[in-house]
Amino acid sequence: MIRPMALEFQNDEKCSDCANQYMLGESMLISAFTSEIYLPEGKWIDFWTNEEHDGNCTISNYMPPKGRGGALFIRKGAIIPKWRDRDFMSQYGDEEIILHFYPYGESEYVFREDDGESFDYLDKPSCRTRIICEETEKAINIKIGIREGEYDNKPQNRVWKIVVHGTEKPINVICDESSAAVEIMNK
């Protein structure tokens, strides 16, 4: 889940010098204790300011907003799931998942879930949902597939809360699962 830049971007020699930044998953670039940020190939959004940057560049004299420990950049095309903030695992049910979309071309994410407590996922298949986001000239099209697989205490109903960043285009959502609800939360 956490990778050094040189491991995630093996064909980019500049990443071998990025000791103060790392990737969290495939889509979040995080830095600390540096004011110089290297952005590899792609398009990136500064999470704190929503400013968009082309990759293969270095940002000098970067200052995160007050109260933030460092830079946080999101790679365009990212689909990032999020639960409600919680203090402990079982504080809330898992029916509600917030999906953050950063549209760019066509992207795909497989949302995996299990009971979150046991090691059953090692021996049994966990639950998976295929999610696709396609940006066209006219709209953002999102398709949420069927949840496939079972696990103990799997929520019977799912609420997908959709947040699409950086676009004014209409949002079209198709959800293949009849027991799921979709709510678009854009501001």
Residues 6+ apart with CB under 8 A from 106: 132, 133, 134, 135
Return the minimum-mean-pLDDT range out of 95-104, 108-117, 121-130: 121-130
Rounded Cα distance, 96 and 111, in Å: 13
Q: What is the pLDDT of residue 46?
A: 96
Q: What is the pLDDT of residue 42?
A: 95
Question: Mean of the per-residue pLDDT values for the chain?
Answer: 91
Cβ burial 2-16 (10 Å sphere, 16+ → b, else e) = eeebbebbeebeebe
Using alpha carbons only, give the angle 89, 80, 42 rounded to the nearest 5 degrees. 145
Cβ burial 110-124 (10 Å sphere, 16+ → b, else e) = ebebbbeeeeebeee
Q: What is the pLDDT of residue 187?
A: 55
Tokens coding 3: 């990778």
Q: What DSSP line would sit under 28-45, residue for residue?
A: EEEE-S-S-EEE-SSEEE
- Residue 15, classed as helix, strand or coil, is helix
The model scores a pTM over 0.85: yes
What is the spatial order of strands in the sheet that 43-46 belongs to? 2-4, 21-24, 28-31, 72-75, 43-46, 52-54
Report how far apart, in Å, the C-alpha atoms of 179 and of each of 11, 41, 101 are.
Answer: 44, 39, 22
pLDDT digits (tens, 9 = 90+) for 5-58: 999 999 999 999 999 999 999 999 999 999 999 999 999 999 999 999 999 999
- For residues 128 and 144, is the Cβ–Cβ distance under 8 A? no
